[in-house]
Amino acid sequence: MIEAILWDNDGLLVDSEALFFDLTRKAFERAGYLLDSMYWGVEYLGNAKHSSEIARELGMPSELAGRVIEERNEAFLQCLENPVPLLPDVFQTIGGLSGRVRLGLVTGSPRDKVERMHRDNGLLGYFEVIITDDDIAFPKPHPEPYLKALERLGLEPGKCLAVEDSRRGLASAHAAGIPCVVVPNYLTRIQNFDQAYAVEGRVSGVLKHYDALSLKESDL
């Protein structure tokens, strides 16, 4: 029986990935370099390359890249002073699952940024466990973030379901032994999700998989 659902954050619950890409694209453009959304979706969000690696691959000198990325980071922090929109169906889906199954958040963002993103929407109160970049040594696609969540929940991988938006997150959950439903966004939709338990167009699609898995277990 599925006892917990573990959720990614950026690009799945909140529309922060689109915001972050747009700020990066504009910062690169001001420096004279064009950044394509498909390239970003594959290399940064899928293959876990750092912004500095992508800048170098585009031919940007290291010193300039450092300034451009710092400028982007400052702009992103400023944007977090305003609410980051939740993606469609998120609040209804999380609220509908609350009380039926344990919920956890497993994100590569630092805790302070996560708290700023959600400070006005009340969503964090639904999560029993929150794993952030501050809690781990090895980020996704390494399994440590999910293994840490399992440890804190006291559960085996087969008792959990993960939900991610990218191949990087999927690889992390898969390596931890947790089946994963992927809900791609417009930046990650071109990635390969061959290891996914299922791929859904909206977050609400997770509900039918949780219900089906729960019903399957109850019939055993």
Q: Which residues are part of the catalytic machinery? A: 8
Gyration radius of the chain's alpha carbons: 18
CA 97 to chain CA centroid, nearest Å = 19
User: What is the three-class DSSP state of 24?
Assistant: helix
DSSP conformation class of 49 = -
Q: What is the rounded distance in angstroms from the CA atom of residue 66 to the CA atom of residue 20?
A: 16
Q: How far apart are CA 166 and CA 171, in angstroms?
A: 9
Type of residue numbered 63: E
**Rounded distance between C-alpha atoms, residue 50 and residue 42, angstroms:** 12
CB 198 within 8 A of CB 182: yes
